[in-house]
Amino acid sequence: MKVYLDAVSTTGVDEKVLETYKKLLDEYYCNSDALYDDGVAIYDMQEKARALIAGMLGVKKDELIFTAGASEANSLAIKGLALKHRDRKHLITSIYEHSSVYNSFRQLEEDFGFEVTYLDPDENGQITPVAVKEALRDDTLLVSIMHVNNEIGAINDVEEIAKIVKRHPGTYFHCDITQSLGKLDIDLANIDMASFSAHKIHGLKGSGALMKKQFVELLPLISGGQQEYSLRGGTSNALVNIVLARTLRIALENKEKYHDKLMELHDQLCEGLNDLVKINYASGLPTLINIDTPIPSEVLLNALNERGIMVSSKSTCGSRKNEVNRTLHAMGYDEDHAIRVSFDHTNTKEEIAYFIENLKEILDKYA
Ligand code: PMP
């Protein structure tokens, strides 16, 4: 039996998304900027997809920039904004952002002379609106705080943070919504920029977007043609962009459809885990639980892997690096014993039971 419990890292492609993509691939391969009929047809479909996605997010069509995922969207939002507005030197983010956000800030700090305030999560794992308010300065250009943390699942009140930033002249608010899109509702009214990725919601890898309000000016990071409002040069990955609309529609439909099932899986998982391990964090996103195991996480991961069970000890983007894990460190959790278990609607009760059963056997053997 193979059991995948790492949905936070990535998800399988929804079969309807795959079907649409294959159909498009069979039919179209020309450049979406070509002026013959097929080129125009793809271009029109891409623009329709852009309008549909914008509509689902409650923003305008030309406020959506297709990217190759959330890392690119985060980089464009943060570095693109800072490099366009170099007169304001102060930036605010949190210590537990995804590496694409954190390293963008580090680069701005180390290579471009910006001053960055890194906020710590409070004892509930959250970056509070009060902490943001207190960190704001007259010369603050940007605040970037993620909606849901990808290692512990903590949910931040980013709508409230956005309101605070909105009242502060000359300061923009960016939010990484990669882990909340299709899972939690969010009102983007006061959010100036938001990044997300398709592969976290059963879409294709290398696909995502940056929502950027019309008044926000960015410096393009990829110079090139007129694609994506001249903010991202390069031949459009038009077919992938087209299926992103279908991906998001399905994810939003599934959010309601599978709500009860996900809560049941959450309860089953928590009940099983409570008897075996210490829970580090389970009060955020219901589909993500961070635990502290009595044996080193590496030993446990390997033992689970041998039994066909896939989980992670930390963010996959940092899994091959030997750096301190910023989230676990900030929360005071033992990095060498932490495991992240995450699931989605494609998982079953039988799979959760199999995981718990095997976890028990492994702990009995090694602990
Ligand atoms: N932000 C968060 C919160 C994430 O979890 C991830 C994926 N690990 C990313 C950004 C990066 O997404 P992508 O893989 O599409 O670049």
Is residue 215 domain-shared with residue 327, that is, in the same domain? Answer: no
Is residue 169 domain-shared with residue 186, that is, in the same domain? Answer: yes
Is residue 320 domain-shared with residue 302, that is, in the same domain? Answer: yes
Is residue 200 domain-shared with residue 69, that is, in the same domain? Answer: yes
| Ligand 1 atom at minimal distance to the Cα of residue 179 | 3
Number of domains in the chain: 2
CB of 314 closer than 6 angstroms to any ligand 1 atom: no
Q: What is the CATH number of the domain that holds 362?
A: 3.90.1150.10
Is residue 103 domain-shared with residue 201, that is, in the same domain? Answer: yes
CB of 146 closer than 6 angstroms to any ligand 1 atom: yes
Residue 10 CA to ligand 1 center (angstroms) comes to 9
Report CA torsion sign: 153, 157, 159, 161: negative
* pLDDT tens track for 260-306: 999 999 999 999 999 999 999 999 999 999 999 999 999 999 999 99
Is residue 309 domain-shared with residue 238, that is, in the same domain? Answer: no
* pLDDT tens track for 226-258: 999 999 999 999 999 999 999 999 999 999 999
CB of 293 closer than 6 angstroms to any ligand 1 atom: no
Ligand 1, atom 7: closest residue by C-alpha: 9
Is residue 313 domain-shared with residue 294, that is, in the same domain? Answer: yes
CA–CA gap between residue 279 and residue 271 (Å, rounded) = 11
Residue pair 53/248 in contact by the 8 Å Cβ criterion: yes
Q: What is the CATH number of the domain that holds 25?
A: 3.40.640.10
**114: phi > 0 → left, psi -120 to 50 → alpha, else beta; which?**
beta
Is residue 25 domain-shared with residue 135, that is, in the same domain? Answer: yes
Ligand 1, atom 10: closest residue by C-alpha: 70
Residue 11 CA to ligand 1 center (angstroms) comes to 12
Structure confidence at residue 315 as a pLDDT band (50, 70, 90)? low
Is residue 29 domain-shared with residue 137, that is, in the same domain? Answer: yes
Mean pLDDT of the chain: 97
Is residue 47 domain-shared with residue 190, that is, in the same domain? Answer: yes
Residue ending a domain, among 226, 253, 280, is: 253
Determine whether 30 is an active site residue.
no
Is residue 128 domain-shared with residue 217, that is, in the same domain? Answer: yes
Residue ending a domain, among 253, 275, 306, is: 253
**Which residues lie below 8 Å from residue 339, measured CB to CB, with a gap of 6+?**
290, 291, 293, 297, 300, 301, 311, 312, 313
Structure confidence at residue 323 as a pLDDT band (50, 70, 90)? confident
3-state secondary structure of 129: helix
* pLDDT tens track for 96-144: 999 999 999 999 999 999 999 999 999 999 999 999 999 999 999 999 9
- E runs forming strands in 28-176: 64-67, 90-94, 115-119, 140-144, 172-176
User: How many other C-beta atoms lie within 10 A of the C-beta of residue 264?
Assistant: 13
* pLDDT tens track for 67-82: 999 999 999 999 999 9
Residue ending a domain, among 219, 253, 287, is: 253
Ligand 1, atom 12: closest residue by C-alpha: 70
Q: Is 192 exposed, middle or buried (0-12, 13-18, 19+ CB in 10 A)?
A: buried
Buried b (16+ CB within 10 A) or exposed e, 29-58: eeebeeeeeebeebbebbbebbebbbeebe
| pTM exceeding the 0.95 threshold for the entire prediction | yes
Q: What is the pLDDT of residue 317?
A: 64
Which domain, by its residues, includes 202? 15-253
Is residue 150 domain-shared with residue 265, that is, in the same domain? Answer: no
